[in-house]
Structure formats: structure tokens, C-alpha cells
Amino acid sequence: MTATRFERPGTGAGTGAGAHPGGAAEAEGRGLSVAAAVAQRRSVRAFLPDPVDPAVAERALRRAARAPSGSNMQPWSARIVTGARLDALLAMTAAQRAALPGGEPMDPPFLPAAGPPPEGRARKIRNGELLYGALGIDRSDAAARAAWNEENFRFFGAPLGVFLLIDRQANPWQWLDLGIYLQSVLLLLEEAGLATCPQADWAMHGEAVARHLGAPASRRLVCGIAVGHADPDAPENVYRSERDDPLSGDPDAGPPRPGDLA
């Protein structure tokens, strides 16, 4: 690959996403409760080079197929890429990014045509403050943000990537099903001791990636998932994203209890 990696600023103590337990724990899962898996999953954006056993990812992708879907249509399909095939895919993507830095037109575009709703916009800005603040990148430094964002197209250094695909005819209901499948995959990988980052950015090169993977013409790429062992010292892994109360404004709901939104 020709592109240079984003250089992270120096970091303090590693208080982030934790080292992997590996071995049997990874293969068999750690018996996390659903609540614990949901609470501790986070998007990890810097990985150690330690390999991931593809069989663990295969198992999670198959187990996740117990996710519900409208009329049991199971609109999802998945591909795993690792080793030399991952290197080849990243090289192809780097070449396409060099030729087409803005990527393919995203369909649908990532944000609504009218812009994100006001609450979502404020949360998006806050998330950027936390992420780029952790990285030591000033909000006004568009070049530094863009350079760091390129890490998306290297799976943030993860040794294994997953792509989720859907039928081209799928409508928002089937995309909803795919989202449920995606979270099931993330939680099963969390249980297996692996860190993840779902990545819609891969849709910027979705047609090229789908062709490269030999996916049927009827399928299109929705997102990628970086899978690996978190680098506990990377600053982008140390911050914790925030949550608002989804029951806020519901007159029948009490206040959240400690830990509910942690």
C-alpha cells in the first residue's frame, strides 16, 4: 500500500478498550450477560496487529442469523476478509481512493437531504468533539481530520474485516432487519473477546468492494465491520461516547437509574 498511516499523538496510561483475553475465552465466549455485552461494546478505532481466528468471526456471523427479520426474510449476507485477501482489498481500495477521493455517490446519502435533525446534529458535533479531542485534532483542522478518517479504509489496522450486504431491492424495513443483525454480530464478537467498529464509510466504495468480493450483482454493500483486538493505548479508544435518555419526555417513565445509560 502506498498511503501512509495516520500518526497518533502520544498517549497517557492505557485506560481504554482493554486487551483481549484470547485463547479459549475468545473461541468459546466469556458468557457475558446481554446487558453487559450491550453496555461494554464500543466502537474501537485502533487495533493491535494480533491475528483473529476467522472461525470465531464465522461463528458470530452465523449465530447472529437468529436475529429477527420481517417475515423472516433474512435480507442480510456477509463476507469475511483477512490475511492476503484483506491486503489485496485494502490495496484496491487505496487505489480507488486515490482516483476517486470523494468515493462513489452514496445511495442513500449518509445524512438526510435536509440535514440531520437538530438533536442528532448536536450529538454528532459532540461525538466529533470527543473523538477529535481525544486524538488532539482541532475541530478546525479539516486536513488532520480527513487524514485520520482515511484509517476507515484500512479497517483501523484490524486484522479481519467483515462486510454486510443486502439485496438491491431492499427497502427501509429490510435495512432495519440488517441493523438488528449488525448489532447481534457486534454483541457476539464482544462476547468472544473481540473489539469492533461498524463502518458505513465503506459504502463510499461499496460497488468496487462488492465487485472485488465477487458478490452477486443483486447484492449491494451496506457497511463494513473492523474486527480485532483493541489497542488499549490508542487515544481514539479511550473516550466513551455519550447517550441521552430515549424515554426523555415520556410522562409515564421514571428517571434513568444509575448504569442504565452508562
Name the segment binding ligand FMN (CB under 6 A); options: 30-38, 79-87, 112-120, 192-200: 192-200
Q: How far is the CB of 224 from ligand FMN (least distance, A)?
A: 8
Distance of CA 79 to the CA centre of its chain: 15
Q: How many CB atoms lie within 10 A of CB 111?
A: 12
Establish if 196 lies at the interface with ligand FMN (CB under 6 A).
no
Establish if 241 lies at the interface with ligand FMN (CB under 6 A).
yes
Pick from 11, 82, 199, 237 the residue near ligand FMN by CB under 6 A: 199
Q: Do 42 and 17 contact (CB within 8 A), yes or no?
A: yes
Q: Which of 27, 146 has the CB closer to ligand FMN?
A: 146
The set of cell numbers assigned to 68 is: 429477527
Pick from 65, 176, 200, 213 the residue near ligand FMN by CB under 6 A: 200
Q: Which of 45, 154 has the CB closer to ligand FMN?
A: 45
Pick from 64, 223, 225, 227 the residue near ligand FMN by CB under 6 A: 223
Q: How far is the CB of 43 from ligand FMN (least distance, A)?
A: 3
Site residues for ligand FMN, 105-144, by CB under 6 A, read: 127
Q: Which of 205, 219 has the CB closer to ligand FMN?
A: 205
Q: Which of 32, 197 has the CB closer to ligand FMN?
A: 197
Site residues for ligand FMN, 25-84, by CB under 6 A, read: 42-43, 45
Which residues contact residue 157 at a Cβ distance below 8 angstroms, ignoring those fewer than 6 apart? Answer: 5, 46, 47, 48, 49, 151, 228, 231
Binding site for ligand FMN (CB under 6 A): 42-43, 45, 127, 152, 197-201, 223, 241
